[in-house]
Amino acid sequence: VEDGDNQGLYLCLRGCPLNQQLDFYAFPSTPKATENRPHRKGSNPSSSPDVFTYESATAKCKEKLPVEDLYFQSCVFDLLTTGDVNFTLAAYYAFEDVKMLHSNKDKLHLFERTRDLESGGMATSELSMALFLLLLVSLFL
């Protein structure tokens, strides 16, 4: 579902190709991999985002999100890729919104299932949540 003008702008509906997947469990445990990460325009180098390892990102996200669910994994991913601790709060408040709005309190925590799915596809509810989180993150940018 890609065309020349919008290449790479679509979500992977039936699993992403291996060359587009990040295995952040195997993310380098040293911050060297993110040293050359681009900074925002007009940002002061002294106020640039932190550099997180997988371990430090996990610890930071656990402060607000003790359950390792979709919100937690999104938090870790965002810290690893951006270094912006505001994403910790974005994931936390997204979960708080779901707690207030979801009618079934037993289904608040969404867990990663893509490794268990033979087809590599994403369940409809997970796709909806992924789209919701993508929208939420885009509002914070």
Full domain range(s) for residue 91: 50-110
Q: Is residue 4 part of a domain?
A: no
The whole-number average pLDDT for the span 43-70 is: 79
Coil, helix or strand at residue 137: helix
The whole-number average pLDDT for the span 89-94 is: 88
DSSP 64-126: T--S-SHHHHHHHHHHHHH--THHHHHHHHHHHHHHHH-S-GGG------TTT-SS----HHH
The whole-number average pLDDT for the span 37-66 is: 72
Q: Is residue 126 part of a domain?
A: no
Q: Is residue 19 part of a domain?
A: no
Q: Is residue 87 part of a domain?
A: yes
Please give the pLDDT value at position 98.
80
| Percent of the residues in the chain that have a pLDDT greater than 70, as a whole number | 49
Please state the pTM of the whole predicted model: 0.51
In this structure, of 13-17, 29-33, 129-133, the range with the lowest mean pLDDT score is 29-33
Length of the chain: 141
